[in-house]
Structures are given as structure tokens and as C-alpha cells.
Amino acid sequence: MQQPGRAAEIKAIGIGKSFGSFRALDNLTLDIGRGEFLTLLGPSGSGKTTFLMILAGFVQPSDGRLFSDGVDITERPAEQRAAGMVFQGYALFPHMSVEANIAFPLKVRKKSATEIKRRVGEMIERVGLKGHEKKLPAQLSGGQQQRVALARALVFEPGVLLLDEPFSALDKSLRGQMQAEMKRLHQETGTTFVFVTHDQSEALALSSRVAIFDHGKLLQVGRPDEVYDRPANRFVAEFLGEINMLPLKGVKRADNGATGLCEDRAVRLRGNADAVGGNAILAIRPEHMSIAREAAVGENGIAATAIASTYLGAATRLDLTTRHGAKVTVSVPNEVAAAALSKGNSVWLTWPAEKGFLLPDGGQ
Amino acid sequence: MRAYLSERVGAAVLMAPLLLFLVLAYAWPFLGVVKWSFTLPTPGLGQYNALLTDGLVQSVFIRTLRIAAIVTLVSVAAAYAITVVWVRGTPAQRVIAEFCILVPFWISVLTRAFGWVALLSNRGLINTWLQSIGFISEPLALVRNEFGVIVGMTHFLIPFAVFPLASSMRSLDDRVLLAARGLGSSRMRTFWTVFVPMTRSGIIGSAMIVFVFSLGFFVTPAILGGGRSVMIAELIYLRIFQSPDWGLGAAISVVLVLFVGALMALLFRYVRPKQLI
């Protein structure tokens, strides 16, 4: 966080924070790599924003140490850390023009007038605000204010940019546009980005890694495909998207995976047999299941009855009940759904061995 | 629409007694004052003409403006500091600040003026104490002059200056201050370049209230000025009850009311009434 123009590497060791008797963050250990785009994902009250505020220096952790490029910065005040920060609601200076807002961090650093002028000009160009230099924040649209906030946070080339739910106030199409823009800014600047959101699709779309929080605990960190396809527990599995869960009995280790009984049929899993031991939950994403007339011998499949369908445009969402009464949702091509519903509703659900994964039975 | 109308009617009914009172007790009698200013002692613009040429009236006007300006500056600055503690301090600090702001409202202006005389006069607490420790040999002239008037008026007006400031500080988004610090600005710099400019409407409102209030001060300057630093309200009193020169007194009143009216109009161009409470 100290050398301008150079992405920072951050190490959090055993960070905890209590507000009175409330434990907002518990024993968090996390490495944030140089130039990475890390998303902190979780529901409200999960501790993700508290961690961001600790990174910024606005909140002092109750325990643990924080290092930036190997230097202990746990006690360093916010103004000396100078991480770029974009707040929810932007927090622009309402009495300053766009130009003055962006120049603020440079003025604080006592840069020369010519350098300020040049860098502010470059930044305004980069975020597409040319022609708006003299306007006050209140005269700008939400998207434009967002750009000013990004420009102001990046103009002094901070080692890390912290973003607290920056898109929560924008409508959907603008959100997509700003997400793309932020991805571009991340590539251009090469700075470390730490981004807080409760929107899992935003997290999966933007990040190089996602850290999932719940109740003050860091549950899992990994690449978007890792946390989506191989969630560490039930909470992560459910938070990242819809998921079908079926009870699995007699789980046994097999070569390159595991086997078990799902509704009296033998099923196979590949690759993740860590949770092996008697009973478990078999979890499969809706888009990984298909509808078939019959499951071949040796193929993963269970019998089910279609009960409802929802047309989604590109696909149809089909709600089914299995023979043992479990509820399952699949996402299938429209004509497959129509055919399934017309055939007396009785179908087979199949899935590839590598797309199912095990979660511990019961609870989290 | 119906609910909206009945709400408006309800508000009008609730405000009517106050309006009626103001019209009967102030507006109507004031019309009489306006009439005097044009008719006493002889009909015409003679009194207004006298205002332009009377050296005493002019010097009192100028003194009043000067005292009001100084009192405004000092009151708003002091109120700003108290308000920062009241709005943004720790819970304990807030209680103490609130106490300091509210207690003066319970003590009458007369009591407070005599209190200041007891403190500031030649044989008052301050002078006798300073002499007893040998800091001064002759008493300082702290009262029966402009200084005494300014001290007394400032003390009276600080609580009034607090409320518009508090309102603007309460509506300020804390994240903007955090943003400034996060961008590298020290607490001091953040205060001067972000916090103070963002409370601008409160400062204007506060200054206007204190200034307008100061222009009409009577008791405090009469007691603490000791007849040597006469302000405009006291001059009007003297012209009505002592000279007696009702026409001139009335003309000064009319000019004062017009001046204050113009200031209020200016104030409401910059600040919405809602921001003053």
C-alpha cells in the first residue's frame, strides 16, 4: 500500500473483530496476491465489509496482524495506508467539481500543479468523463458519479483498490457496463483489487478469486470455478447458486472418486471423495442435470416426476419430485422440457460423474 | 388528493392562531409606527431626511453594525466548536455539550447581563482577582464599553447559533469524511477542506440568525454598555420615551425593519428554512 504504481501484496493473519459481545469477524487468515482481483462475498452481517474496513484502516482489528508487502500495518492509520477506496454511494465531495474531486488525493500528496493537471486529465479521459470536468457530483448520473469515485481512488496509483458494493445503487444494464469497465481498469492498472459484494453472479464474473464469508467466518477461498463446482460446504454451495441435494447412503471410496446409493440406485462420483464416510449429501447444479427416457446401466440417474415448468427464454426451468420425495430443479432446453411434460411426466434425471459432489450429511 | 387537501387544511388551521396573534400584536401596531414616521411632528419625509443628516443616529447605526458583525463572528466560531462536540463527540461529551447549550435558555437575559457586570466591572471578580495576583495594577475597562456589550451578547447568542450548525452537521454523510482520510488526508485537513465546506449552509444560517438578532438587542447593551455604547434599539427607546421625538424613533424603526427584512430575504435565497432547525 505504500509504493505508488506498484500492486500490493496483503497478508492477514488471525484477524478478529468484536463489537461489544458481537463477533463480526473471527480468526481470518488470508493472502491477497499482487495484482489479484479478490471478491469478498457473503450475506449482510457476514463480516466481509468489516474486513474491508480493517484493510482500509477505518476499523482496528481486535486480534491478528495485517501485512502489506511484508510490513506490519495493523496500527497504521487510514490516511497513511492510502488504499484507494470506492464507497457504497460513492462518497464524493459534494462541494467540489469532478476535477477537484479527482485532484484531491494528489493535492494531499503535494504534487505540483502541472503534474496534478496532467494526471487528472489522463484519469478523466480513461474513465470517459471528458466534458464533465467542471460539474458538481449532484449534476451527474449514478454511473458518472461511479466513474468519478473510481477515478479519484485510482489517480494516485494506490497499491490496492478497495471497493465496497460499488454497484448496488445502479440499475441492471448500467451494472453490467460498470463491471466490464472495472475489469478493464483492473487490467490496465495492474493494481490489487479487493471487492465486496453480496451478489454471487457479480463475484463469479469479475474475480480472479472469491472469498466467501458467513457469520464472521471465512468459509472458502478459491477461483470462481473452484468455489462453484467444488464448494467446501453446504452454505457455500447454496450461496453461489441453485443446487439440488439428494441423500446418499453407503458412501465408499472407489478408484478416482466414490460410489454410493442414491434412491436405491448406485451412483458414481469423480474427483472429490473427501467427505467419505457412511451417509452424505450428493449435490448437483441444475444446469448439470439432464432429462432422459431411461438411465443406462452404470450411468448416474434417478427416476422423477415433472410437476412444474417455468419458461426462462433461453431455457426452461423444470421442477421435479423424485421417487423418494426429494425436490429437484433442472435447467433444460425448451423442447426437452415440453417433451418431458407431455410424456405422462415420468422421466429420468442423469448427470455426469464429475459434476456431482459430496457435502457432509446434515447441517453445514 | 383528498388526504393531501385535508392535510393542507389541517396545517393551515393549526398555524392560524399564531398568524392571527402576529398580525394583531405586531403587524397592525407596526403600521401605526409607519404612520407616525410620516406624520410626526409634521406630515412629510422630514424624519427620513433627518436620519440622513443626524450624526448621532448614523454613528449609532454604524456601531450597531460593527458590534453585530463582531458578535456574529465570535458566536458562530464558538458555536461551531460546541456543535462539533455535540453532534460528533462521544456519548459523554454529547451530554455535557447539550447541557451547556440548553442551560443558558433557562436564565433570563437580564440576570445574565447583571452576572457579567459582576464579573467584568472595575471591582468585579476578574479585575480584583487579576489585581490580587499582581498581574495588573489598575483595573481593566471590561464593562460600560463595547467590549462588555460584545461579551454579553455573544454569551447570549451562542446557543441560537448552534441549531442551524447542528442540522447541517447531522445531515452530513460520514462516508465522505472516511473517503477523504482514505485518500490520504489528515484529520485536520479533512476538517478544513471537507467538513467545514460541507456545513456551509449551516454557517450561513447560523450567522444570519445571530446577526439579525444582534441588531435588535436592547437589554444587554443598555446594561453592559452603561449608556456609552448605545445600540439602535436603545436609541429608539430614548427617542420614544425620553426625548420625546416619536417621529424620529418611528423612522429609525422602519429603516431597521426594512434592513432586517432584506437580510432575511437574502438568507432564504441561500438556505432553505428547513435547514435552520
CA distance A26 to A16: 4
Query: How many beta-carbon pairs below 8 A join chains A and B?
Result: 67
Backbone φ and ψ of B75, nearest 5°: -65, -45
**Domains of chain A from N-terminus onward:** 10-235 (3.40.50.300), 242-360 (2.40.50.100)
Supply the pLDDT for residue A364. 40
Residue B241's pLDDT is: 86
Residue A336, phi then psi, degrees to nearest 5: -65, -40
Q: What pLDDT is recorded for position B2?
A: 59
Give the B window 148-187 contacts with A, CB below 8 Å: 173, 175-176, 178-187
Distance of CA B173 to the CA centre of its chain: 29
- Nearest chain B Cα to A91, which residue? B176
Q: Which residues contact B22 (CB under 8 A, 6 or more apart)?
A: none
The three-class DSSP label of residue A95 is coil
With CA atoms as reference, the chain B residue closest to A152 would be B183
Q: Could you give the dihedral angle defined by the CA atoms of residues A212, A213, A217 and A219, in that order, rounded to the nearest 10 degrees?
A: -20
Question: Where does B55-276 sit in CATH, by number?
Answer: 1.10.3720.10
Judged by phi (left if over 0) then psi (alpha if -120 to 50, else beta), residue A292 lies in beta
* Distance between CA atoms of residues B75 and B109, nearest Å: 16
Cα A297 versus chain centre, distance = 39
Q: What is the pLDDT along chain A (364 residues), one digit of tens a residue?
A: 444 457 899 999 999 999 988 999 999 999 999 999 999 999 988 999 999 999 999 999 999 999 999 999 999 999 888 789 999 888 999 999 999 999 999 999 999 999 999 999 999 998 889 999 999 999 999 889 999 999 999 999 999 999 998 888 788 888 888 888 899 999 989 999 999 998 898 899 899 999 999 999 999 999 999 999 888 888 999 999 889 988 888 888 777 778 888 888 888 887 665 555 678 888 899 989 988 887 777 788 888 888 888 888 888 888 898 988 889 999 888 888 877 777 667 888 999 888 888 887 764 4
Query: What is the domain partition of chain B in residue ranges?
Result: 55-276
In whole angstroms, give the CA distance from residue A26 to residue A45: 13
**What residues in chain B have per-residue pLDDT under 70?**
1-5, 272-277
Instruction: Say yes or no: ipTM exceeds 0.85.
Output: no
> How many Å apart are CA B87 and CA B89, to the nearest integer?
6
Q: How far is B162 from chain A (nearest CA, A)?
A: 22
What residues of B are in contact with residue A156 (Cβ under 8 Å)?
183-184
**Cα distances (angstroms) measured from residue A62 to each of A17, A18, A27, A219, A231:** 5, 6, 10, 20, 29
State the pLDDT at residue A60: 93
Cell numbers at A327, concatenated: 425436490
| Chain B residues within an 8 Å CB radius of A77 | 181
The 8-class DSSP code of residue A24 comes to E
3-class SS letters over A108-175: HCCCCHHHHHHHHHHHHHHCCCCCCCCCCHHHCCHHHHHHHHHHHHHCCCCCEEEEECCCCCCCHHHH
| DSSP string computed for A211-232 | EEEETTEEEEEE-HHHHHHS-S
Q: Are strands A84-86 and A160-164 parallel, antiparallel or unpaired?
A: parallel
- On whether any CB of chain A is under 8 Å from the CB of B138, the answer is no
Per-residue pLDDT, A274? 59
Q: What is the dihedral of CA B147, B153, B159, B164, to 10 degrees?
A: -100
Q: What pLDDT sits at residue A1?
A: 44
Query: How far is Cα B153 from Cα B163, in angstroms, rounded to an integer?
Result: 17
pLDDT at A158: 92
pLDDT value for A156: 92
CA dihedral B150, B155, B159, B160 (to 10 degrees): -30
Q: Which of A49, A85, A161 is the mutation pick for testing B, counting most B CBs within 10 A?
A: A85
Which residues neighbour B225 within 8 Å (Cβ) at sequence distance 6 or greater?
Answer: B144, B145, B146, B148, B149, B231, B234
Cα separation, B182 vs A56, whole angstroms: 7
